[in-house]
Amino acid sequence: MKRIWLLFAQAVTVLLAAYFVVATLKPQWLQHGSTRSLGGVVSIIEAPTAGPGSALPAPGSLSAAAKKAAPAVVSINTSKAASRHPRSDDPWFRFFFGDQGDSQPQVGLGSGVIVSADGYILTNNHVVEGADEIEVTLNDGRHAPGKLIGTDPDTDLAVIRITLDKLPVIVLGNSDVLQVGDQVLAIGNPFGVGQTVTSGIVSALGRNQLGINTFENFIQTDAAINPGNSGGALIDVNGNLEGINTAIYSRSGGSMGIGFAIPVSTAKQVLEGIVKDGQVTRGWIGVEPNDLSPELAETFGVKATEGVIITGVLQNGPAARAGLRPGDVITAVGDKDIGNVQELLTAVAGLKPGSSALFKLQRGADRMELDVTAGTRPRTPIRRLPN
């Protein structure tokens, strides 16, 4: 028995010594997942794999949301014929200034979102504005010419349509329930490199007075948005559309972590109006509003401390016919309190032309109420945006 035990101890000692030598001189021989090649051993470490059909995304991954929404986000290429000088055919003009007929056509790049199986696509007005040709490229590689259905410069939105079968359609979310801090993804075609997904959070809600659109109620996000992303999708963690990416704040031309998207609640109204009537119809009363300040209040002799002061009234416009005057301070439209110019514009735009609404206002030291019958808001051109 003693002899057996001695042999066992000696064997263990030899094995441990051998292991120590191998571990010191050739540690790769002891690693799992090694692959032997003709040149020796290639040391690799492989992650464990799950069984067929049981692979799950990594914890915290937003791949499911991206996979759900990405097929419905398209790339939009536009071209506009080169403009010729009106005197380019004049021989004397050509003698002094040369041939002006060789100008290259202008091309543009943006993104869009398929919102209907009928082929309707939401994008930005500044993406397709003035375009002679629109080409839409789907994520699956298919191409189709885009037909412009209508635009709404006041919100910088446009609707185009393509004719293809089996179109992927994005699911519309509810931007009214978004909260600051919610995770979001931006999907588009920045700089034409191909479809790209970036992530971030909702940085702020209700951004306005930026001087970008007439009607501003932007979702601000730090998800990277760059030139070419305009008209693309801002989605939530469930892959539902929450906004249309439209502009960035930038000193360099690229993303600086401040991007703006038009809420899907606004986009839905514009889509319905354009598809139904070819344009969006909004209320209008014909006034020049300004945010109330102590200086303006003193100038017009107003005792109000909140509301929007009217500094001009269009002659024979809806407001003038209802009795509004310069110096009046509007504090409410219907049941909506008014605290700034953007809130007044939004409230008035929501009025149906031809219908009347009760305006609460203060004139001097007196509080008054007037019934104002809204007219139809004139269409206005939009300025060029940085994205």
Q: Bridge partners of 387?
A: none
Among the listed residues 75, 111, 152, 156, the single catalytic one is 156
C-alpha to C-alpha distances, 49 to 53, 55, 56, 67, 354, nearest whole angstrom = 11, 8, 10, 22, 67
Termini Cα distance of the chain? 87
Among the listed residues 75, 111, 230, 255, the single catalytic one is 230
Q: Cβ contacts of residue 343 below 8 Å, gap of 6+? A: 308, 336, 337
65's enclosing H/E stretch is: helix 63-69
DSSP track, 304-339: -SSSEEEEEE-TTSHHHHHT--TT-EEEEETTEE--
Active-site residue 79, yes or no?
no
11's enclosing H/E stretch is: helix 2-25
Spatial separation of the C-alpha atoms in residues 359 and 352, rounded to whole Å: 15
Q: CA angle 307-309-314, nearest 5°?
A: 135
Q: Bridge partners of 312?
A: 288
What is the three-class DSSP state of 205? strand
Residues in the chain: 387
Among the listed residues 75, 111, 126, 152, the single catalytic one is 126
**DSSP secondary-structure letter at 172?**
B
Active-site residue 99, yes or no?
no
Residues known to be catalytic: 126, 156, 230
